[in-house]
Amino acid sequence: MKSHEDISARSDRPETPDDSALSPRDRVRRRRQSGIVSKDRDFVNALGRGLVVLEAFCIGDITWMSGMEVAERVGLPKPTTSRLLQALTGLGYLHYSTRRRQYRLGVAVLSLGFAAREPFSINDLVRPYLKELADTYNVHASLAGRDRLDVIELEVCHSLNTLMTLRLEVGSRIPLAGTATGHALIAPLPQTEIDYLFLHLKERHQKHWDELRLSIEKGRQEVAQDGFTKASASWSTDINGVAAPLIFPGGSPVYALACGAPARHLPATKQRAIGQRLVAIAREIEGRLQAGEDNERES
């Protein structure tokens, strides 16, 4: 699923004092054009631009791009883009085809992705629970995280007992606002971070923001009261979902355990039963992780 964020947006004005409130990626966009000097002494513009170049290959359905196409997509001068592409290719993060005269993501990107997943012991710890959920309730079960204004699927399991599938795999994206998974990810955040998210979600969903904000607030209340939240006909008109926050020890970001299915397969009574099981699983996983951390400290 495509990200809704437009990577090619740019600004022709210099940085203003308000830029300190922007995310690093948005600050990169402000500084893309030559001649704009960063006021943030700790921010490495070249590194930020290189990461934006990599992200250009993650948005949309295009696998291969020429140097000119990348430059147009990220809004950087062609010579600057060419140098970044050569550096990223030399490090293995991009692959260049001499026959095509185009670039695509390289194997080194996969190593970063797997390294990011490893500390969370997803395969060994979470997958058995997802398989249990999928097979017991005939649903799509997933572990999800937040990537800016999107939900990203980190691990998924499909039921073996039904042909029903949501066609979501690892790396798939769904909206943060208006989905049970997104609301479970938002609910435990501190108010300052929620206010920041709301500011940008309002920008993205201008026409439907009032309705979406009410649904997010309802989801937060459900999480506070029951430990899980539900959504009906959310990101797809016939999809119901249920999700619970999963908070790893050590100050890691919030994750969510979620289940989804076509509405006819996931009525309200089944949502509640799954929600209660999700909360129990989340507490069990959190307890096991905390015990592991305590053992590491003692050793």
Are residues 155 and 142 in contact, defined by beta-carbon separation less than 8 angstroms?
yes
Calculate the CA 230 to chain-centre distance.
Answer: 19
Query: What gap in Å lies between CA 261 and CA 264, rounded to an integer?
Result: 8
Which pLDDT band holds residue 91 (cuts at 50, 70, 90)? Answer: confident
Which pLDDT band holds residue 179 (cuts at 50, 70, 90)? Answer: very high
Q: Which is more confident, 235 or 139?
A: 139
- 3-state SS, residue 82: helix
Contacts of residue 235, defined as CB under 8 A and 6 or more positions apart, other chains included, come to 174, 175, 178, 179
Is the pLDDT at 89 greater than 60? The verdict is: yes
Is the pLDDT at 207 greater than 50? The verdict is: yes
- 3-state SS, residue 44: coil
Which pLDDT band holds residue 210 (cuts at 50, 70, 90)? Answer: very high
DSSP H or E stretch at residue 15 = none
Place of tokens 């997803």: 122
Query: What gap in Å lies between CA 73 and CA 79, rounded to an integer?
Result: 14
Phi, psi of 92 (to 5 degrees): 90, 0
| Bridge partner residues of 151 (DSSP) | 146, 174
Give the pLDDT score at 236.
Answer: 53
Six-digit token pair at 228?
A: 């899980």
236-253 in b/e burial notation, b at 16+ Cβ within 10 A? eeebbbbbbbbebeeeee
